A and B are shown apart, each in its own frame.
Chain A
Amino acid sequence: MDSSQLLKGVLDLAVLAVLKERDGYGYDIVRRLREAGLHEVGDASVYGTLRRLFKAGALTSYVMASDEGPHRKYYGLNEVGMRMYAASAKTWSSFSETMASLLKEGRE
């Protein structure tokens, strides 16, 4: 199975998890996701997801000037985003446990 297909369903949660750690701007978030092991994550997918989460009211944003380049729009979790993260994380944990035990049964 192509892992980019799997990623589609959990990209929201991945982005929320990265932002829970600390605020970040678009490209910084892409980079941190890749560093965490999601190498196939598409820049446009992350950027579109950020804009959607922002529209949904889960993120705050503020602009900071950077020394070496353009202004950076930082995103961070607000109350709504925190709740969204907690709920999605719970769903994902129980889902991945189920899958793990299914796969274990398959091996035996």
Chain B
Amino acid sequence: MTPEEYAQAVRDALADHPEREELLDDLDDHLAEIAAESGLPLEERLGPPGAYAEELAAAYGERPERRRRVRPGPRERARSAHALLMRYTPYRGLAGFLPELRPGWWVLRGYVLAMILVSMAGDGRIAPATAADWAVAVARLRRPVGRPVGHR
């Protein structure tokens, strides 16, 4: 590999480096100097160009675009919005009040669920209507389905 080829391979290995031109400014002359001095092929003297490029970039500093930029998920965004809004008194008041509404929320949720079940049943019967039905319902509750009476 000639110094030019070696330099090109290093350049290629650092193709995604944002400061490649600054970093490799006088690489060609530098490599030519080493080649002229030692007479050995550059791969033997310096190792493979890929490894040379790695070492170069490490010494120069971290590649900025290699730093993983994590896009915040919806949960993360909501959390940061909450943190931001907590600076404002009205929002703080509201946020402080919300936990007190929790029992109401449970009731509402239960009600909505019941309404969904009712609409699915469709026949308008949402509670046992007769005494016989009551007996069956209570028996079902006390003895789960699938366990025959009188056997253990």
Question: CB-CB contacts of B42-55 with A at 8 A, as 1s and 0s?
Answer: 00001000001111
| Cβ-defined contact, A49 with B26, below 8 A | no
A40-52 interface bits toward B, Cβ cutoff 8 Å, 1 = contact, 0 = none: 0011111111011
Which of B29, B56, B59 is close to A73, meaning CB atoms less than 8 Å apart? B29
Given A48-B23, A55-B22, A73-B29, A43 and B59 touching (CB < 8 A)? no
Known contacts A70-B32, A70-B33, A71-B29; decide if A45 and B46 are in contact (CB<8 Å): no
Alpha-carbon distance between A49 and B60 when the two chains are bound, in angstroms: 6
From B22, B54, B56, A47 is in contact (CB under 8 Å) with B56
Task: Report which residue of B34, B36, B52, B59 has the largest number of chain A beta carbons within 10 angstroms of its beta carbon.
Answer: B59
Flag whether B9 is at the interface (Cβ < 8 A): no
Whether A51 contacts B60 in the complex (CB less than 8 A), given A26-B26, A43-B46, A44-B55, comes out as yes
Q: How large is the interface on B (under 10, 10 to 19, 20 to 34, 35 or more residues)?
A: 20 to 34
Q: Is the CB of A47 within 8 A of B32?
A: no
Q: Known interface pairs A11-B59, A27-B37, A42-B55. Does A47 touch B27 (Cβ–Cβ under 8 Å)?
A: yes
B-side binding surface: helix, strand, loop or mixed?
Answer: helix
Contact of B23 among A11, A43, A46, A51 (CB under 8 A): A51
Cβ–Cβ contact A48 & B59, under 8 A: yes
Give every chain A residue within 8 A of B36 (Cβ-Cβ).
68-70
What count of chain A residues pass the 8 Å CB interface test?
A: 21
Chain A nearest CB from B28 CB (Å) reads 8
Task: Decide if B30 is an interface residue (CB 8 Å cutoff).
Answer: yes
Task: Note all chain B residues with C-beta closer than 8 A to A69.
Answer: 32-33, 36
Residues of B bordering A, CB below 8 Å = 19, 22-23, 25-30, 32-34, 36-37, 46, 52-61
14 contacts between A and B (CB under 8 A): A11-B59, A27-B30, A27-B34, A42-B59, A44-B53, A44-B55, A45-B55, A45-B56, A47-B30, A49-B60, A70-B32, A70-B33, A73-B25, A73-B26
4 nearest CB pairs, A to B: A48-B59, A44-B55, A48-B60, A70-B29
